[in-house]
Amino acid sequence: MLDLKHSFSAYSSLFNIVDNLIFVRSKLAHKVDWIVGDSNDLNLKIRNEGRLKNKLFKEIFTRYNQRIDNYKLNFYKLSNSDIKNLEIMKYKLVSDKIKDKSGHYSIYPRTFFCNKCGDLRIFDNNRQWEKFNPERCRKPNCDGKYQQTSLVKYCEQCGNIEPLRYYCKEHGKEHWKLIRTDIDAPMTWKVVCTECQKKGEQPFDILKYSCDHKVYGKKICNKSFKKFKPLVVMEGSVFNSVVITVVDVPELEYNQLLDHLDYIMLGIYLNRFETILKDISSKGKVDLKKIDLYFKFKNDPNVQELIDSGMLNQGFIDIIDEMLQEIEKLKIEFKDFPLEDINDYLVLKGIFSDDNSNVVHFNDYLKSLEESHNESIENNYQSLKNSFGIGNINYISDIRLIASAIGINRGINRFYETGFVPHFEPLWKDKNKETFKTYSYPFETEGIIFDLDKVKVVNWLIDNKFLNTAHVTTDEDALEILFHIKENTPEYDELKTLLHTFAHVLIRRSSLYTGLDSDSCSELLFVNTASFLIYSTSNINIGGFAFVFENSIFDWFRDVKLEVKDCVFDPTCIHETGSCFSCLYLPEYVCSEFNQSLDRDVLIGKKRYVRGFWK
C-alpha cells in the first residue's frame, strides 16, 4: 500500500520550499501540501521586518499584476494598500532530537497505470486511495504493476494545471486504458474507455481536452478554449518557487531619521553632505546617532527657547536645514530608484557600522603579510585587477541574509523568450485570495564581494553604445553615471548581464578552491554599484571563502578566460545566447534569476558586443 500521510522535518537551509512545490522521492512525484509556521523560535530573528515586507510586496505586486495584464485574466489586481494583507512567515525548524513536523506532502498526481495492460487508475478521494495496491493490477490474469503517470495538463493562457482526468458519460472512470505508442514520446500516447472501444470507439489523444479557464467554477479568462499542453512532472517543471534574497539590514534606533534614512545613506556615500557634515564625521565615517540627535532638536517644540538660552547652538539647526534641502534634491534626482539595493551593498561593506572588523579588504590583507611576500602578491593582485576589470575584492565573515519564497511560477518559464511573462502566483492564505504570505528564512553565512572597476565598466558601456556620453577617468564621475542607471533600460540590463555572467563563471569554478560545490553557493547582484556577492548557502559553514580569500584568489581566476572562450556546444551556443547548461547555467535553486541575463560574449566580445569586458 502507498502511505497517504507524509510529513517532513526542516533543520537545514530551506530557501525554496513552498506550497505546491514538486519534488521526486523513491521514483514518485510528490507535492508540498502545507508548511507549518515558526512556533518554537529556532529561527534567527528578522532584524528589520518592516523593510523586508516593503521589498517583498513590491516584487509580488509587480510580478502578479504583470501576469494579469499580459494574459488579461479576471483577477483582482493588487494595489499598494494590499501590503497590509501580506504576512511574513518563518519555517518551523525542527531539530534532530525532536519528533515534530515542519510541513506535509503527498503523492502527486494520483494517476497510475499498469505497466503491462495499461489499466488507468484515477483517484479523486482518499477512501479509494487508501485501498490502492500498486504492486498488483486489478485486472484478472494480469501480473503487471502500477506506476505513476509522469504528465499533468497545463494551459499556457490562464496557467491552469490539472492532473490527467478522464470521465466517460456512459461508463464513468473505471474502464480507462492508457496506450503508450512510443514510451519516450508522451505526445503519441492515447487513452480509451475499454467499454466504448468494444462498440468501435477509437482511442483519442491523451490531451484531447481543452481548458475552460475556470478555477473553483469561476471564469478567470474570457479567451476561447485552449488545448492543454503536457508537462512532465519533475522538480522545477510544474511549480517553480520564486525566491528573493536580501540583506538583513539592522533595524536602526534613530527614530527621527526613518523617513529620510535611505536618502541620507545614499547622500553620505555620494559625498553630498561632505561640507555640511564635516564637523560630525571622522575618518570618512559619519555619526548617524549625532545626526539623529540634531533631527530630534530640530523637531523639538521648544527649540527656540533652547537656542535663546544658549543650550543649543543655532549651527545645529542650520546643519539640519541644509541636509533637508539636499535630501529633497536627492528625492527628486532618484525618484522611483531601487535605493534598497544600494543600501544593502553599503551595509554589507560596513559603511555605516561602528565595527566593520568582519569586512577584510584584500589590500589590508596584503599589509598583514611579510614585506617580501607582500610585494610579490601585490604585483599579482594588481595584474589580476587589470586583466579582469576588478576594482576591489573584500571578504565578509559575518553576513546576515534572508531568503524569502514569495510565490510560484506555474508551468513552463520560457525566460529565454524576449518579453515572456510567467504565470506568477502569490502564496494565498485562503481561496478568496484576500490575504497572502511569504516564507522567509534568515540565515548567517560568509562570502566575497567583487567590485568591478567602475571607470572600466562605464567606458565599456559607452564603447558598446549602451550609454551616449563622454568617457570617464575618475571613480567619482563613474559612480555618478552608475547611480543614475534605472531598471528596465538597455544599459541596466547589459550591466546586469555582465555582473551575472562574471558571478556564474566564478561559482562554477568554486568547488576547485573553496571546498563548496556550485550547489552550495549563490550570488547577489548590485547593479548600480557594479558589484556582486558570492556567498555560501551550506548549512555547515566550513570557512571555504575565508580560505580562498587568503590562499587561492589567483588560482580561482586561473584559466577562467580559456573556459569562457569556448563551449562544447559552440558555435551554436556563442551564436545564439552565449550561455547554456554546459558553460554557464547553474541549478535553478542556486540562481535566483533562473539563468537569465547570461552571455559569455559580454566578456569576450565576438558576436553581440563591440568590445568584451575582458578585452
**pLDDT tens digits, 157-197:** 999 998 888 888 888 888 899 988 887 787 788 888 888 88
Q: Are residues 165 and 228 in the same domain?
A: yes
pLDDT recorded at residue 282: 46
Residue 203 DSSP class: P
Q: How many domains are contained in the chain?
A: 3
Q: Is 423 part of a structural domain of the chain?
A: no
Q: Are residues 577 and 473 in the same domain?
A: yes
Q: Read out DSSP for 255-283? A: GGGTTTHHHHHHHHHTTTTTTTTGGGEET
Q: Read out DSSP for 477-515? A: HHHHHHTTPPTTSHHHHHHHHHHHHHHHHHHHTGGGTTS
Q: Are residues 136 and 272 in the same domain?
A: no
Which among 296, 314, 341 is the end of a domain? 341
Q: Are residues 463 and 584 in the same domain?
A: yes
- Cβ atoms of 57 and 86 within 8 Å: the answer is yes
Backbone dihedral region of 7: left (phi > 0), alpha (psi from -120 to 50 degrees) or beta?
Answer: beta
Mean of the pLDDT values across residues 421-427?
93
Q: Is 3 part of a structural domain of the chain?
A: no
Q: Is 561 part of a structural domain of the chain?
A: yes
Q: How far apart are CA 436 and CA 425, in angstroms?
A: 10
Q: Are residues 507 and 572 in the same domain?
A: yes
Q: Is 197 part of a structural domain of the chain?
A: yes
Contacts of 442 (CB under 8 A, 6+ apart): 43, 44, 45, 46, 90, 248, 400, 401, 402
Q: Are residues 292 and 197 in the same domain?
A: no
Q: Are residues 222 and 307 in the same domain?
A: no
pLDDT recorded at residue 291: 65
Picking from 374, 538, 376, the residue whose alpha carbon sits closest to that of residue 444 is 538
**pLDDT band for position 479 (50/70/90)?**
confident
Q: Is 395 part of a structural domain of the chain?
A: no
52-66, 125-139, 258-272, 476-490: the lowest-pLDDT one: 258-272
Residue whose grid cell is 563613474: 478
Q: Read out DSSP for 59-87? A: HHHHHHHHHHHHHTB--PPP-GGGGGGEE
**pLDDT tens digits, 188-246:** 888 888 888 887 788 877 777 889 998 877 889 888 888 888 888 875 678 888 888 88
Residue 38 DSSP class: P
- Cβ neighbour number for residue 401 with a 10 Å cutoff: 21
Q: Is 2 part of a structural domain of the chain?
A: no
pLDDT recorded at residue 199: 76
pLDDT recorded at residue 11: 46
Residue 521 amino acid letter:
C
Q: How far apart are CA 56 and CA 244, in angstroms?
A: 8
Which among 341, 364, 382 is the end of a domain? 341
Can you name the residues that pair with 24 across neighbouring β-strands? 29
**pLDDT tens digits, 34-46:** 888 777 677 888 8
pLDDT recorded at residue 13: 42
At 144 the three-state DSSP class reads coil
- Cβ atoms of 278 and 487 within 8 Å: the answer is no
Q: What is each CA distance from 301 to 297, 304, 305, 357, in whole angstroms?
A: 9, 8, 9, 40
Which among 232, 266, 282 is the end of a domain? 232
Q: Are residues 179 and 277 in the same domain?
A: no
C-alpha grid cell, residue 499: 555582473
**pLDDT band for position 467 (50/70/90)?**
very high
Q: Is 6 part of a structural domain of the chain?
A: no
pLDDT recorded at residue 487: 85
Q: How far is CA 465 from the centre of its chain?
A: 29
Residue positions counted in the chain: 615
Please report, to the nearest 10 degrees, the dihedral formed by the alpha carbons of residues 505, 507, 512, 513 taken in order.
110
**pLDDT tens digits, 484-512:** 898 888 999 999 999 999 999 999 888 77
Share of the chain residues as helix, strand and coil, in percent rounded to the nearest 5: 35, 25, 45
Q: Are residues 193 and 225 in the same domain?
A: yes
Q: How far apart are CA 385 and CA 387, in angstroms?
A: 6
Residue 73 DSSP class: B
Is the per-residue pLDDT at 97 higher than 60? no
5-14, 420-429, 542-551, 601-610: the lowest-pLDDT one: 5-14
Q: Are residues 457 and 598 in the same domain?
A: yes
Mean of the pLDDT values across residues 401-413?
88
Helix (H) or strand (E) holding 394: strand 390-410
pLDDT recorded at residue 37: 79
Q: Strands of 412-468 (E only): list them.
A: 423-428, 436-452
* Structural domain span for residue 531: 453-604
Q: Is 519 part of a structural domain of the chain?
A: yes
Q: Are residues 286 and 211 in the same domain?
A: no
Q: Are residues 155 and 297 in the same domain?
A: no
Picking from 275, 449, 249, the residue whose alpha carbon sits closest to that of residue 352 is 249
Mean residue pLDDT across the chain: 83
Mean of the pLDDT values across residues 295-319?
65
C-alpha grid cell, residue 406: 514569495
